[in-house]
Structure 1
């Protein structure tokens, strides 16, 4: 099979790999589409650690090709979405009801240190595949995993109905946050510094989302809650929220640090929250909500797997392409001609 493999910082390539073997509790999935995530981009830019030689990708949908002898919940031919956040159910965090913080993740993070889904096939333990509802096309289903991330972080924000919410960063996660918030009826503003992403967000998002340049958002009044999808601005954002407000740090950058004004944090009653990975319940809810939310509206490109390099350039995901800026929102890599461009 063909697979997109992380070779080194700034470098990935198409490699020939054997179709992976599977055991009694595994499912072999013919991958139909994989979304390119900010984590994939960060790996290639050297901002997120990953094992060299790993197959990239973790936001995937496809069809079951074969199952192990002990698998009962799915069968060949079933359309499925993959939950790539594995947990063991045996370590202390898992036993305390915190499987998202499983202590046995080493070697099990899909697309990071365990082979991912930018390939023709992927092997997944049975309990991490979910049937994709018939009304959810692959193009939409590929956004279930990032939707689960968003749901987890919005839950951590503890939003009230009258909150004014500022989402910082108009990449796919920021746009998805804004889409979900608007669907819930929240008063939401999306702020972005990059002119290319700003233009794309204005074209793709519903009118209920106010999309502003960063300087315009700063002058628009204090929000009650901020969702920072960049992972680089929490120190700056603490001073922008109202008293009793919340800043959720959603973006992850390995080298990012922030200076936190502790006196303001305490005297103004500000909450600074890191929600971490989503729980299994968030993923299951994301599958359900995908029946209603038009997630595919954020997909700007569907490219065959072999055109991965073009996709990475569109997302400024290599050092050489970064100065060019962004020219896409969500890109899907596909091995299935049935995933419409």
Structure 2
């Protein structure tokens, strides 16, 4: 094959085993196919779990990556919604629309999901090109950088979670644990729901970054104790709404939920917990999980990005070429050569991998 017949893709071969690989260049083969030259892909916490082996869901041999934007390179003959040269954001979670889960607005649990999920069971976007169908693309307005639009998918996951929250009051004590991309996006989105959240992050570098990108109305603290004293004015302030992005706090904070309180868990680390069922009912508590996009959440997130209501580009801390993917993962505490996963030691948040199709004017 000539260089024009191949492209580069970052392949997952097993835990801690990644490789940039030359693969056949993708083309539109079906009538509704769209091939996108990838510009940017965000590194997701899911990717960190897949690479480290702590979230063993990806199919060996798959191309990772799913939070992406790019430029339309080819279209099938029946595609009318986008044309070659359009700047687009990709919805990476196709769904059939006809199974029971889809028909009851639970598209993130589509019964035909296996084999279609980008970066997990279907070749994703840490590559020069990606192939999808026209219904899973949205044209990005000219005034929105593709770097910003790449955060549409993680924001869509946040919209799904926020929809599930029914706080007892707009004055509810609301705490987001973790100042990674999802934690900061939750903080912004909760303000649109009328709440006044605080962020708790015990990693100094992450905390420092958060204080620079959150609005003044959302304070960030190194501990819950500090948040209680400094923000709520009560060292024993009960918790009305908790968003846990770490997966590790349900058991320790369960007893501290106020009557009618809600605990939302969105982390993907395996933790067994023990809860008192009588306590759950007697105090009218809610324990909720959330993952991926639900019906309409991707378009809602896209509106929040393109309207500027959530300034997502603030969260982009680094842009790294795909050839330097190990450096990109290391910024988030994932040392691939050393086979270790630790907390981020730098002021990082959303790290984007650049595949090369960036438009003129979008400097890294």
Q: TM-score range by the shorter chain?
A: over 0.9
The answer to whether 1:6 aligns with 2:22 is no
Identify the residue that residue 352 of structure 2 maps to in structure 1.
332
Q: TM-score, normalised by structure 2?
A: 0.88
TM-score, normalised by the number of residues in structure 1: 0.94
**Displacement, 1:214?**
2.6
How far the C-alpha of 1:258 sits from its partner, in A, is 1.8
1:226 Cα deviation from its structure 2 partner: 0.7
Partner of 2:201: 192
Instruction: Work out whether residues 37 and 357 of structure 2, in 8 Å CA contact, stay in contact via their aligned partners in 1.
Output: no
Distance 2:92 2:329 in 1: 21
Distance 1:117 1:204 in 2: 27
Deviations 1:184-229 (Å, cap 9, x if unpaired)?
5521111122222122212222221111113435744223101111
Point out where structure 1 has 5 or more consecutive residues left out of the alignment.
none
Give the direction of change, closer, same or farther, for the CA distance of 1:26–1:217 in structure 2 (3 Å limit).
Answer: farther
Instruction: Return 5+ residue gaps in structure 2 as ranges.
Output: 1-6, 230-236
Which deviations, in whole Å up to 9, do the C-alpha atoms of 1:279-313 show, x marking residues without a partner? Answer: 24110011111121210001110111111110111
User: 2:302 matched to which residue of 1?
Assistant: 287
1:142 to 150, 158, 173: 150
* Residues 137-176 of structure 1 aligned to structure 2 (within 5 Å): 137-159=145-167, 160-176=169-185
Q: Deviations over 1:99-134 (max 9, x none)?
A: 222111111111011100111110011111111122
Contact 1:157 1:247 in 2 (8 A): no
Question: 1:1-47, CA deviations, whole angstroms, 9 ceiling, x for partnerless residues?
Answer: 11111122123221111122331111100111000000001101111
SS of the residue 2:220 aligns to: strand
Give the match for residue 247 of structure 1. Answer: 263
Tell me the distance in 1 between the aligned counterparts of 2:133 and 2:275: 41
Q: Which residue of 2 aligns with 1:38?
A: 45
Within 5 Å, give how 1:27-176 maps onto structure 2.
27-49=34-56, 50-159=58-167, 160-176=169-185
Distance 1:193 1:77 in 2: 44
**Paired residue for 2:233?**
none
- Between 1:113-122 and 1:285-294, the stretch displaced more is 285-294
**Backbone CA RMSD of aligned residues:** 1.8
Once the two structures are overlaid, the 10-residue window that deviates more, 104-113 or 217-226, is 217-226
